[in-house]
Amino acid sequence: MTEGTRASDETLRKLRSVSTATISAVLRKHGYEQMFMEDVAPLRPDLRMAGHAVTLRYIAARPDLDPSGEVDNRTNKQRIAIQSVGQGDVLVIEARGDTRAGTLGNILATRVQQLGGEGIVTDGAYRDTPEIVEIDLPTYSRAQHPNLSASIHFPADVNVPITCGGIAVLPGDIIVGDAEGVIVVPLAIADAVSAESYEQEEREAFILEKVQAGRELQGIYPPNEAALAEFEEWRRARRV
Amino acid sequence: MTEGTRASDETLRKLRSVSTATISAVLRKHGYEQMFMEDVAPLRPDLRMAGHAVTLRYIAARPDLDPSGEVDNRTNKQRIAIQSVGQGDVLVIEARGDTRAGTLGNILATRVQQLGGEGIVTDGAYRDTPEIVEIDLPTYSRAQHPNLSASIHFPADVNVPITCGGIAVLPGDIIVGDAEGVIVVPLAIADAVSAESYEQEEREAFILEKVQAGRELQGIYPPNEAALAEFEEWRRARRV
Amino acid sequence: MTEGTRASDETLRKLRSVSTATISAVLRKHGYEQMFMEDVAPLRPDLRMAGHAVTLRYIAARPDLDPSGEVDNRTNKQRIAIQSVGQGDVLVIEARGDTRAGTLGNILATRVQQLGGEGIVTDGAYRDTPEIVEIDLPTYSRAQHPNLSASIHFPADVNVPITCGGIAVLPGDIIVGDAEGVIVVPLAIADAVSAESYEQEEREAFILEKVQAGRELQGIYPPNEAALAEFEEWRRARRV
Amino acid sequence: MTEGTRASDETLRKLRSVSTATISAVLRKHGYEQMFMEDVAPLRPDLRMAGHAVTLRYIAARPDLDPSGEVDNRTNKQRIAIQSVGQGDVLVIEARGDTRAGTLGNILATRVQQLGGEGIVTDGAYRDTPEIVEIDLPTYSRAQHPNLSASIHFPADVNVPITCGGIAVLPGDIIVGDAEGVIVVPLAIADAVSAESYEQEEREAFILEKVQAGRELQGIYPPNEAALAEFEEWRRARRV
Amino acid sequence: MTEGTRASDETLRKLRSVSTATISAVLRKHGYEQMFMEDVAPLRPDLRMAGHAVTLRYIAARPDLDPSGEVDNRTNKQRIAIQSVGQGDVLVIEARGDTRAGTLGNILATRVQQLGGEGIVTDGAYRDTPEIVEIDLPTYSRAQHPNLSASIHFPADVNVPITCGGIAVLPGDIIVGDAEGVIVVPLAIADAVSAESYEQEEREAFILEKVQAGRELQGIYPPNEAALAEFEEWRRARRV
Amino acid sequence: MTEGTRASDETLRKLRSVSTATISAVLRKHGYEQMFMEDVAPLRPDLRMAGHAVTLRYIAARPDLDPSGEVDNRTNKQRIAIQSVGQGDVLVIEARGDTRAGTLGNILATRVQQLGGEGIVTDGAYRDTPEIVEIDLPTYSRAQHPNLSASIHFPADVNVPITCGGIAVLPGDIIVGDAEGVIVVPLAIADAVSAESYEQEEREAFILEKVQAGRELQGIYPPNEAALAEFEEWRRARRV
């Protein structure tokens, strides 16, 4: 990471180009055994996402938490979270895996897109899912449910550490998504993970090409020294 | 509802045009907190459905309930239910969430379509699901399973109150389905829910248009008085 | 089955042409109440599969089972299983329903295809699922997960009896898959099941044609003697 | 069964004396593979129960089903069910496995006991469970929950066929409970099951005595002819 | 509540004497449909608890959250939470229902008792459960698990709003437990709930006495005017 | 471990005296993050167990695996496993978490006891559970179910590596059980784990004594140098 608390464009671009499977393997080498969100699936498997986490934490609803039932954009934490989304941010919502109501719907998802948001992730449900699918924005969730969030969820905090899909997410973490799902990359190692993942995918592309051509696994997967030399040549040729 | 125990064509047409998300919000205002079926998904998200419930209740199978194993169309309750489906009816099947066998298959689904049925809903599975998907009929289920219904389910009653996807369904209730899932509208309030849902969707279309144009949430979602006036004008202009 | 421990090409071809729903009903007549794998879904519902089981059994991972972390193609049981796949074989993997890691990924699935494999089935997850979907190979799983298999699974045995999706699978069993899922046909009755399924599908095609034409269920489903005679004629006419 | 639709006292007495494990094995011989309720546990493992089923079916609650919220003992189906309990009856309640509210509480359980009821079974929860445990009445449930039944359940029918703990229960069936749980014995075979279970337990008592004395399994479990002869002698000696 | 942010001794004493079933019914009248924690069971059903919530929120563990692995009593949020427990406080721990590690063990539970704590509640597990059962302190959990909390949980916050067993808990709420489980009483209505619950239990004691004496339900449950008059007399007589 | 493939008596004695919570913490230091069986509970929380694993692997039943239905003690793998149990052995049964039938019953559990078995563990159910509880033998399971094992399970292998309660178990591993549950100690590190666990429990006994006496956590839990010195003195005094 070049500086400050944002990843460089190149880091994000590379993370967007590699698979969560590759990132998972690289994170493991850095001591992170499991950073993939459980039971969180893409609504748009055709899109890829890599951006900084803006977090929203729901707790269970109860009558005295929101007696008016009115939503005030200046005090409601869901609205504050959405309005704090900037270019390259991913809104990540802790819903405790409770899918009995949507966590947000079509209009708010559109607002996230308007603000330059990179995507939205929840371990609960969305409402208006059929419309959200039409927005060109990577979105991930556990289920779909038409009920209003207020029936089940109360927005309690913005930009605190949360758990989403079983994984701890800190504000600013890099959230990467592809058709397999969503993985969390701690900001401090985002540059390293990005570079190593990119390299590993090059090597796997080489191996896959050989296996597709009928090569047997022995010697190539995992590659022995001869195969690694062959790979270096292949890479040089390809880069020219 | 204009009269009798059937909803008017206009009521059904409007319910078919609005989303289950909107209906859910309107039902909440009428005191119905939760009418959306849990774990019941569309096989054909491209189709919409609104019709009157014909109910079929399965209980768990056991050897003495159906000793012959022969299906007699005149006494078998599954067959009686199917044959009682008329124009605009939705067959709703209580399977206790048990997906270890299909509740009906391709041939019976085709018969429902032939009889003018509006759709089929089960909180169990279908068998022949790949073929059922090909029928132009809205169908909803929890899973797919090739086993014959008789191995797990015994048809016990037709047109009694049931629970499907966790929601009470009375014969004659309006069953509405879209790509998000299935919601139950009690017959007595179908006209009101239909009209209010239609109005709310107009208002949301207006809000969405503004948000898509880059308007920030404050003042428009929820709309303040100025925005509501702007909406009235927008609606008038649009209706001309 | 004509001879030895392989099903004939005709048996496999017929099994590939009929649905798992039909096979399920025929197996029931042979005393097999439940042979359909639970919670195992197709990645490629457009493909069909019928072949002989090659089995791979994972047990839970732990540190002393694989201290080096190196994969040796000559001793690693996962690799031995994959390399033992031949023309017409289906690799079936027992993962105890544990989806917290992939059981194999893109490169190994490609190798199975190169070896003439008929398909791959697991009651766990795959990694690189988005890429596996692109291979023209029937694949079935419970979920997708990017983590490496070694984090959760240890390959313990090849070609022993296993349980996959709740169903016992013996090496050599016929594994049939369609868009509904995967069913296991014991080798000893594969010829009979194949022939009877084929016949039953002819009968159902006839019944469906009549129901699609508006015929009511009584007399045709189940068919009475007149309908069966009509069927015989229909079949003769069709075969000419 | 001597006559009518009630089992004889001897049949019930024997069923109360044998274990549900033995009854399960005997039912299997009669073609009933699975009659044991899943996820239904005894509150009082020290008591045994055998009696005739009186059934109560709940469906999911919704606002228009019980608008007053008042309970009228003459029309409320829960109350009608309870008041129809007679000497030797077991009240069996279908709650769809939904444990988010009690199905009945302390006062109604006491009334069942006062009416000579043999026990109460639900696949939902009880409320006032700590007090119900104090009543000397066999009671079985899936969970405990203090909420009033009306928040989740609506009593829809009395003495219709139901499903409880995954098992079909017809009014009049014999419901047997011990510390392992609850098993359903169809009325028509109650005499046979009772007699055969009693005999099998005698045989198992003999085998257990031998195994406790250090005898190895071979020859005695299962018993060969010599062991069966030895058993007959043991039984004669014991009966004197 | 007489004053400040603590309930009076009398309020707590009454809440400790009534059942969670009664409190649940009273809360419902105040608009709180569901305040009972799901899947949270007593380790000591013989003890009762009523006190003010001190909350501790865990998020999922990950390597960079606690790199040293050392516990510092001055900075570790679990320790800060425990040390903030005072006379009459109940420590309530949000563990997201994740039971794969204990949330605290024997030594810390003993410290809570030493500090005058009223009890401990978690929707996760305890470790050293067999020893915790021996402490004379009401404790509630979802499971037992010997693993150290650090393997699964990271303590993120003290005294923020949390969700425990599916229910929102605010710091200072009254947490009441009996053998049925744990219910949350918002502080603002604690006096009212306490008084009304106490009255309702008196009425139910009267009804139960009558039902135990063989009285039929009609007229007494629910009580008609005559029964209510009889109750008033019974109460007067009893209070003397 | 002094020699060969058996742990010494002292190692087993110490493991039997310490808690699974302590062993879990010690195993973690040896690189074993999770060795505690999930969802496996003691039937006899008053007993403790430590012995060598004899493993039995069930696969799912199907009709052709056991066509006769007769149990032959010389060929049936369940019986071979039981008869191979010797002094100090724990029978560990892989049942895939499937509790729809018992894995063994009263008579076979008695035989295990007669053979000097140290205990029995299954991640399925027992049948005759009420009788098994009466045997003075540590037994652990996930549930109780009266159905015969043959309806769901087929015994496939004896003394192969298995997964039980989510944990890999190799034949000969040390299986330790207390009131919290069952933990697996690899044979190669049994001596070390035993000794370190014993030491840790001494230290915790000292800390607990201090906390029970009112000492605050700072300085004693975790202990600083002064506390460790105090502990050494305490230990010396206590050993005299």
Query: Which of A74, A83, A128, A152 is the best substitution to test chain B (most B C-beta atoms within 10 A)?
Result: A128
Instruction: Give the whole-number percent of chain F exceeding pLDDT 70.
Output: 98
pLDDT > 70? residue F60: yes
- Cβ contacts of D162 on chain B, cutoff 8 Å: 59
Which pTM does this prediction carry?
0.94
Q: Which two tokens stand for residue C65?
A: 């089972």
Check if the beta carbon of residue F50 is closer than 8 Å to that of residue F87: no
Question: What is the structure's pLDDT at B4?
Answer: 60
Which of F77, F81, F121, F113 shows the shortest CA–CA distance to F97? F121
Alpha-carbon distance A38 to nearest alpha carbon in chain B (angstroms): 18
Question: What is the structure's pLDDT at A156?
Answer: 96
Q: Do E145 and F36 touch (CB under 8 A)?
A: yes
Q: What is the pLDDT of residues D79-128, one digit of tens each?
A: 999 999 999 999 999 999 999 999 999 999 999 999 999 999 999 999 99
pLDDT > 70? residue A3: no
Q: What is the largest CA-CA distance in chain B?
A: 71
Beta strands in chain D (DSSP E): 41-42, 49-60, 89-94, 119-122, 125-126, 139-141, 143-144, 153-158, 162-164, 167-169, 174-178, 181-185
Residue type, A171: P
* Residue A4 pLDDT level (bands cut at 50, 70, 90): low
Question: What is the structure's pLDDT at A70?
Answer: 86
Check if the beta carbon of residue F37 is closer than 8 Å to that of residue F141: no
Give the DSSP H or E segment for A192. helix A190-212
Q: What is the pLDDT of residues E126-172, one digit of tens each?
A: 999 999 999 999 999 999 999 999 989 999 999 999 999 999 999 99
Residue E43 CB burial class (10 angstroms; 0-12, 13-18, ≥19): buried
Question: What is the structure's pLDDT at F168?
Answer: 96
* Residue C42 pLDDT level (bands cut at 50, 70, 90): very high
Question: What is the structure's pLDDT at D1?
Answer: 36
Question: What is the structure's pLDDT at A67?
Answer: 81
Q: Do D146 and E221 touch (CB under 8 A)?
A: no
Question: What is the structure's pLDDT at A2?
Answer: 38
Cβ-nearest to B63 among D31, D97, D154? D31
* Residue E6 pLDDT level (bands cut at 50, 70, 90): very high
Angle between helices D190-212 and D225-239 (to 10 degrees): 100
Q: What is the pLDDT of residues F93-104, one digit of tens each?
A: 999 999 999 999
* Residue E3 pLDDT level (bands cut at 50, 70, 90): very low
* Residue F238 pLDDT level (bands cut at 50, 70, 90): confident
Please give the mean pLDDT across all residues of chain D. Answer: 95
Q: Do B217 and A111 touch (CB under 8 A)?
A: yes
Q: Pinpoint the alpha helices (H) of chain E.
A: 9-17, 20-29, 77-83, 106-114, 129-132, 190-212, 225-239
Distance CA B25, CA A71 (A): 15
Residue C98 CB burial class (10 angstroms; 0-12, 13-18, ≥19): buried
If one compares F239 and F10, the residue with the highest pLDDT of the two is F10
Chain D residue with CA closest to F114: the answer is: D214
Check if the beta carbon of residue E16 is closer than 8 Å to that of residue E23: no
Q: Do F145 and D207 touch (CB under 8 A)?
A: no
Q: Do B218 and A74 touch (CB under 8 A)?
A: yes
Q: What is the pLDDT of residues A167-207, one digit of tens each?
A: 999 999 999 999 999 999 999 999 999 999 999 999 999 99
F4-30 mean pLDDT: 95
If one compares F63 and A48, the residue with the highest pLDDT of the two is A48
E37 secondary structure, DSSP code: P
Q: What is the pLDDT of residues E91-121, one digit of tens each?
A: 999 999 999 999 999 999 999 999 999 999 9
Distance CA C154, CA A54 (A): 37
Instruction: Give the whole-number percent of chain F exceeding pLDDT 90.
Output: 93
Distance CA F46, CA F184 (A): 19
pLDDT > 50? residue E239: yes
* Residue F1 pLDDT level (bands cut at 50, 70, 90): very low
Instruction: Give the whole-number percent of chain E exceeding pLDDT 70.
Output: 98
Question: What is the structure's pLDDT at E70?
Answer: 86
Q: Which two tokens stand for residue E111?
A: 């410290």
Residue type, F43: L
- Cβ contacts of D28 on chain F, cutoff 8 Å: 147-148, 151
Q: Find the length of chain D.
A: 240
The residues with which D164 forms a beta bridge, in sequence order, are: D167
Which of F33, F34, F14, F24 shows the shortest CA–CA distance to F166? F34
pLDDT > 80? residue E11: yes
The region of weakest confidence among A66-70, B104-108, E41-45, F37-41 is: A66-70
CB < 8 Å & 24+ apart, contacts of E143-146? E143/E99, E144/E102, E144/F180, E144/F181, E145/E99, E145/E100, E145/E101, E145/E102, E145/F36, E145/F180, E145/F181, E146/E102, E146/F19, E146/F20, E146/F21, E146/F22, E146/F23, E146/F24, E146/F25, E146/F36, E146/F180, E146/F181, E146/F183
Distance CA F26, CA E147 (A): 10
Instruction: Give the whole-number percent of chain E exceeding pLDDT 90.
Output: 93
Alpha-carbon distance A151 to nearest alpha carbon in chain C (angstroms): 30
pLDDT > 70? residue C174: yes
> DSSP secondary structure string, E98-141?
--SSBS--HHHHHHHHHTT--EEEESSEESSHHHHTTSSS-EEE
pLDDT > 80? residue F69: no
Chain F residue with CA closest to D211: the answer is: F111
Alpha-carbon distance B240 to nearest alpha carbon in chain D (angstroms): 40
Which of C67, C167, C175 shows the shortest CA–CA distance to C117? C175
Query: Is E186 an 8 Å CB contact of chain A?
Result: yes
- Cβ contacts of B161 on chain D, cutoff 8 Å: 59, 65, 156
> DSSP secondary structure string, chain C?
--BTTB--HHHHHHHHHS-HHHHHHHHHHTT-S--BPTT-EES-TT--EEEEEEEEEEEE--GGGSSS----TTT-HHHHHHHT--TTEEEEEE-TT--SSBS--HHHHHHHHHTT--EEEESSEESSHHHHTTSSS-EEESEE--S-GGGTEEEEEESS-EEETTEEE-TT-EEEEETTEEEEE-GGGHHHHHHHHHHHHHHHHHHHHHHHTT--STTBTTB-HHHHHHHHHHHHHHH-
pLDDT > 70? residue B128: yes
F179-186 mean pLDDT: 97
* Residue C3 pLDDT level (bands cut at 50, 70, 90): very low
Q: What is the pLDDT of residues C87-106, one digit of tens each?
A: 999 999 999 999 999 999 99
CA B143 → CA B128, C145, C169, C179, distances in Å? 11, 21, 23, 12
Instruction: Give the whole-number percent of chain A exceeding pLDDT 90.
Output: 94
* Residue F70 pLDDT level (bands cut at 50, 70, 90): confident
Question: What is the structure's pLDDT at C134?
Answer: 97
- Neighboring chains of D (3 or more beta-carbon pairs < 8 A): B, E, F
* Residue D37 pLDDT level (bands cut at 50, 70, 90): very high
Alpha-carbon distance E127 to nearest alpha carbon in chain A (angstroms): 21
Q: Find the length of chain A.
A: 240
Q: Do F181 and E127 touch (CB under 8 A)?
A: no
Burial B207-226 (b: 16+ CB within 10 A, else e): bbebbeeebebeebbebeee
pLDDT > 50? residue E198: yes
Question: What is the structure's pLDDT at D3?
Answer: 47
* Residue B225 pLDDT level (bands cut at 50, 70, 90): very high
Please give the mean pLDDT across all residues of chain A. Answer: 95
Chain F residue with CA closest to D46: the answer is: F130
Q: Pinpoint the alpha helices (H) of chain F.
A: 9-17, 20-29, 77-83, 106-114, 129-132, 190-212, 225-239
Residues 6+ apart with CB under 8 A from F3: none
Distance CA B107, CA B115 (A): 13
- Cβ contacts of E73 on chain F, cutoff 8 Å: 217-218, 221
pLDDT > 70? residue F51: yes
* Residue B5 pLDDT level (bands cut at 50, 70, 90): confident
Check if the beta carbon of residue E152 is closer than 8 Å to that of residue E98: yes
Q: What is the pLDDT of residues A91-133, one digit of tens each?
A: 999 999 999 999 999 999 999 999 999 999 999 999 999 999 9
Question: What is the structure's pLDDT at E4?
Answer: 61
Q: Is the dihedral of CA E87, E88, E94, E99 positive or negative?
A: positive
Q: What is the pLDDT of residues C51-80, one digit of tens each?
A: 999 999 999 999 999 888 789 999 999 999
Question: What is the structure's pLDDT at F165?
Answer: 97
Question: What is the structure's pLDDT at C207?
Answer: 97
* Residue F4 pLDDT level (bands cut at 50, 70, 90): low
Q: What backbone torsions phi and psi does residue F181 show, to the nearest 5 degrees?
A: 150, -150
Alpha-carbon distance A233 to nearest alpha carbon in chain B (angstroms): 48
Q: What backbone torsions phi and psi does residue C228 show, to the nearest 5 degrees?
A: -65, -40
Q: What is the pLDDT of residues E63-95, one digit of tens each?
A: 999 888 789 999 999 999 999 999 999 999 999
- Cβ contacts of F28 on chain E, cutoff 8 Å: 147-148, 151
CB pairs under 8 A between E and F: 74
D185-192 mean pLDDT: 97
Question: What is the structure's pLDDT at E1?
Answer: 36
Question: What is the structure's pLDDT at B66?
Answer: 83
